[in-house]
Amino acid sequence: MADGSGWEFRGRGTGARHAMPLPEFSTRSNCPHNILGWHPIRSLCKPMSATHEERLRRRLQERRRIHQRALEEELPRLVEELKAIGVERVILFGSVVRRAIGLTSDLDLLVIWDTPMGFLERTAFLYRRLNPRVPVDLFVYTPEEIQRMADRPLIRRALAEGETVYAAGSEGGGPSLA
């Protein structure tokens, strides 16, 4: 139900009402809210000057560089720690391997580790032990689980597009995002 305020209320009864912005698109083409498709505070949103837009673009580029640098610095530390724990293989995949690093990018790591621990126990153990300083998604499987799940989309994609950054028994130059 729209009440003319630019908000739509959905739900049943008074306890389940949720305010949802109406999906209206702005006519202001240089407004940063256009990416959202709606204006949270339509009356306060003014067209951005070219100078302000350029400043914003430079700040976002700098933040992306800082985030990428943090990911680049954290990967070798994580791999060294995983190596010390005794994992068999570490595969980096996702946006970092595709070189599509943005402000919300994380390190997606497929870890193959022969351990008697259960799935949740070993995953929690590695998160606690690694204590990542950047966003990291760990997918920790035993060799048997990888073989059994090789046809699942996530595993198939990680194995196909991924980059092995550590494999037990092979000494390489170490992981790198460059």
Q: What is the pLDDT of residues 87-142, one digit of tens each?
A: 999 999 999 999 999 899 999 999 999 999 999 999 999 999 999 999 999 999 99
Residues 39, 84, single domain; the answer is: no
Q: Is 155 exposed, middle or buried (0-12, 13-18, 19+ CB in 10 A)?
A: buried
- 49-55 contacts: CB < 8 A, separation 24 or more? none
Residues 33, 94, single domain; the answer is: no
State the Rg of the chain over Cα: 23
Q: What is the pTM of this model?
A: 0.69
Into how many domains does the chain fold? Answer: 2
Phi, psi dihedral angles at 128 (to 5 degrees) = -65, -45
Instruction: Identify the three-state secondary structure at position 136.
Output: strand
Residues 88, 162, single domain; the answer is: yes
Q: Residue 43 sits in which domain range?
A: 7-48
Q: What is the pLDDT of residues 2-52, one digit of tens each?
A: 455 544 444 454 444 444 444 444 444 455 555 555 555 555 566 678 888
